[in-house]
Amino acid sequence: MDRFLEGRVAWVTGGASGMGKAMALALADAGANVAIGSLLAGAGKPAEGELAYLPGEHELKQAQEEIESRGVRAFAHGLDVTSDASVEEFHRAAVDALGPVDILANAAGITAEQTVCGHPDPLWHKVIDVNLNGIYRTSRLCLPVMIERSWGRIINIASTAASVGAPTSAAYCASKAGVVGLSRCVALEGAAHGVTCNAISPTWVETRFGASWMTDIAEVQEGRSGEAYIADARAANPQNRLIQPSEIGALACFLCRDEAAGLTMQDLTVSGGSLW
């Protein structure tokens, strides 16, 4: 196995589940020591109408053990990306445990199914705060040190929703478009200093969060089962499938290679040919 990230340190938000966990494991397979943080079940009060997957303590611990089984060190702790204090505390603890962050992968995210006309303000602000401001909070801590050390990789999970609208996903689409725009600015800020920044924009990915979201759309908006909606989503994809989390992990890992230094400021779509 190519351990080209031996000695590097990665921080993955949303790292206890879904795409975040897949990225964490892929980076660990390549030799990186990995810090994972997720908002855990029971931590904080969800906004009314918020759709999210919050792992439990046992899932965080299990993810840590899976990372360590790759022969690297891991740090795992609860993390609320909407809180400056939580982000700063996690960063300090992760650096104390593993060293300065070389790779930042932002996967923490939520959504909401609301029209613009009927959108509750608190829910709008929560989606933007998690999906967009959370990336700003982590990036502003890691980017200066990456610039100082003349090497860094920042990878942000956006979505095909960044460029394709949906009538009941205004906050999500707006937040993910913001992620793409922020990623481009970070890329240009780091370009002269060996730091790259890219967004990855997947379509539906086969995660617990994705299944929960599709089920909510099916049951609330369409009055049918989530299983039927998911089956239709597979059939509508030109490849007749959902994207797998491991595919996102593999792409994130590739972006960390020295051979990928010229890949920066990009919005990389992983959709199997679909638009959404």
Measured distance CA(128)–CA(178) in Å, rounded:
9
Asked whether the predicted pLDDT for residue 1 surpasses 80, the reply is no
Report which DSSP code applies to 171. Answer: H
Q: Residue 48's pLDDT band (boundaries 50, 70, 90)?
A: confident
pLDDT tier, 45 (very low <50, low <70, confident <90, very high otherwise)? confident
Q: Do residues 127 and 62 lie in contact, with contact meaning Cβ atoms separated by under 8 Å?
A: no
pLDDT cut 90: percent of the chain above it: 96
pLDDT at 100 over 80: yes
Q: Span 201-220, mean pLDDT? A: 94
259 contact partners, CB below 8 Å, separation of at least 6:
none
Angle CA(134)–CA(140)–CA(141) in degrees, nearest 5? Answer: 100
Does the structure show a pLDDT above 90 at 44? Answer: no
- 256 token code pair: 């960390």
CB atoms within 10 A of CB 192: 9
CB 101 within 8 A of CB 138: no
Known catalytic residue: 229? Answer: no
Choose, from 53, 136, 172, 229, the residue flagged as catalytic: 172
pLDDT tens for residues 171-185? 999 999 999 999 999
Give the domain ranges of the chain: 9-204+245-270, 206-242
Both tokens of 123, joined, read 């829910």
Mean pLDDT value of segment 112-131: 96
Closest CA to 103 of 51, 35, 46, 50: 35
Flag whether pLDDT at 3 surpasses 90.
Answer: yes
**Once rounded to an integer, what is the mean pLDDT over residues 3-9?**
98
Q: Which CATH architecture has domain 9-204+245-270?
A: 3-Layer(aba) Sandwich (3.40)
As given in the structure block, the two tokens for residue 127 are 């989606």
46 pLDDT band, cuts 50/70/90, is confident
Per-position b or e across 128-150, b if 16+ CB within 10 A of its CB:
bbbbbbbbbbbbebbbeebbeee
